[in-house]
Structure 1
């Protein structure tokens, strides 16, 4: 989500400017000059407006989100929270340490979810709630985000993400798996299809949510301007943010407290976002390390998988939002047009974060697709899989099984 990262950097600077202004006003009030009145008395020429304006801006700098959230969102009917269940950390194919959660009956057909950039597996909490009665729902944190850790001496890159996803795919027991990816998660799946076609015999189908097939700057709003700025401005700014990691992180937290970060992230939602959803997403992108996020943004700017889906031998479902400014609907049209087995579905009035904003619609479409491409699912459900107790102990084999032949 490179565009939102840029917007968050700008709003962080704005939030920092508000904080600096409040400090200046409070200091100028305190350090007002001494004057002599007509009676010969000495007094401080303090201006009350400086004090009250400074205090107001200071309060906004650290409490503003409590005002911003209700102004920008709808009231919650089903709150979203960045909370985790019991997961486990397992070695990935590249040597990364991958945090994985598994929900649902052990014998049910599996759906493996990969989140978007800056997020973590809690992004799929609605999917865990909606689908784990019928499916084995598996969600993981991409390396460097959430509770997953990058391997030593490895770069943040899509081929490595695809290799780690391939390791998880190999390790998932049972029949073929449905792969679901949002944003960079969908890009990771396309990279897997391109780089590891031999693993498609482990895949029942692919679901791509609000994603693209190439450098995201080419398929987002203002693409011409952003492409022109990529080399001279955007990439140097991302490198600088990576080098100034701690300062950027502190600024990001201050922007989170002031609500400025929420304003930036609101642009990634459409008409239905609730307060808890905006808070959830903003918390994730604030607490994930800026250095890792900048490395991932740079990796996306130099990525392309055009034509990869043409070689995909399994059914494909592409879901896009008609108000998506990060990966415009045209990108979904290109991807679905690459393969005769692909279908496109459009969700109205949602933006890039549609899988959270309208989780009800997205999860229904994912479930319908998964049942259509996993013939055993209906039989298993009829045999009582819905009532089976989750058995996390059967979810993953020994760590050594994750490694063969996938590291680059």
Structure 2
């Protein structure tokens, strides 16, 4: 699990969870899940990206939880979710399994939610596109700063011409076993260059740096191999939910070409939003734009859960095996 070193004040400090849960995936992996906001409100599920944690969504939780039930979880090995014991635990199959487990643990049968993924979290939604759990619980989707294949070859983190050399060097950098160490002025500058736009504030950079540096290097490296060989393009066509795509025009990790390909292949696309000057961390760099997109999806595709029959709490009481409750943070 990660060291929890996120910022503790300001817009990017994660608020305490109303409830903490443990979802159990198909292979027995235990996933930390937290819920915010009022029971019975429209539900939003957030899946974070590589080297991040639930803390990444602080600005979304603070805004949305006033009138939505916001569910966020730590991908395996990140935040408070233990790392896989087996190498097979690092796979897009495992990511899809985990998402299904979280949806089953937090939503009543048939209850719908807006599903939001950033980077590897959006890849998770794509990998799970044909799964029964996604079809049962997904009302609409928002994919932020992501791709479906050729991530390393098309990354522009290294200022070199496209080709084998850049691909090889980029792969080496992303899969480096070196520890990131403490957050310093130098490491902030490196992270800002690689993952954020020039206009990102010191507060935004610091929030992202603390989250990324908290990810264990073994976990970081394990998932880098999955991303380096990612081939889930075929699943994009299976994502039949109404789906909106967001990209940063200054994104070096997943440049806008990926967003354009995904948007073109979606069966029910709602449009592509390009954010000028924004890098790979759009939920942090442009929280108002991302929050607005989520709210628009929720307003268009969700109804309040009390109009859908059983509430989540009733379902939990009837089937306690669905989740394990923890103590509120």
| Aligned residues of 2:145 and 2:248 also touching (Cα < 8 A) | yes
Q: 1:130 to 1:231 in 2, by over 3 A?
A: closer
Measure the CA separation in 2 of the matches of 1:312 and 1:378: 23
Measure the CA separation in 1 of the matches of 2:289 and 2:306: 24
- Alpha-carbon deviations, 1:327-352, whole Å to 9, x = none? 11121111111124112122222111
Matches within 5 A, 1:9-408: 78-81=10-13, 84-85=16-17, 87-153=20-86, 154-174=88-108, 175-194=111-130, 196=131, 199-221=134-156, 228-229=164-165, 241=177, 248-249=178-179, 252-254=180-182, 256-257=183-184, 259-267=185-193, 268-342=195-269, 343-374=271-302, 376-377=303-304, 400-401=321-322
Q: How many correspondences in the alignment?
A: 305
SS across alignment from 1:352: coil
Once the two structures are TM-superposed, the CA of residue 217 in structure 1 deviates from its matched residue by 1.5
Unaligned runs of 5+ in 2: 1-8, 324-329
TM-score by length of 2: 0.82
| Aligned residues of 2:15 and 2:62 also touching (Cα < 8 A) | no
How much is the aligned-residue C-alpha RMSD, in angstroms? 3.0
| Aligned residues of 1:322 and 1:329 also touching (Cα < 8 A) | yes
Larger Rg belongs to: 1
Measure the CA separation in 1 of the matches of 2:16 and 2:141: 25
SS across alignment from 1:193: coil
- Alpha-carbon deviations, 1:93-139, whole Å to 9, x = none? 33112111101111112111001111100100111111112211000
Measure the CA separation in 2 of the matches of 1:291 and 1:330: 30
TM-score by length of 1: 0.67
Unaligned runs of 5+ in 1: 1-76, 242-247, 381-390, 403-408
Measure the CA separation in 1 of the matches of 2:59 and 2:115: 17
| Aligned residues of 1:158 and 1:300 also touching (Cα < 8 A) | no
Q: Which structure shows the bigger proportion of residues in helix conformation?
A: 1
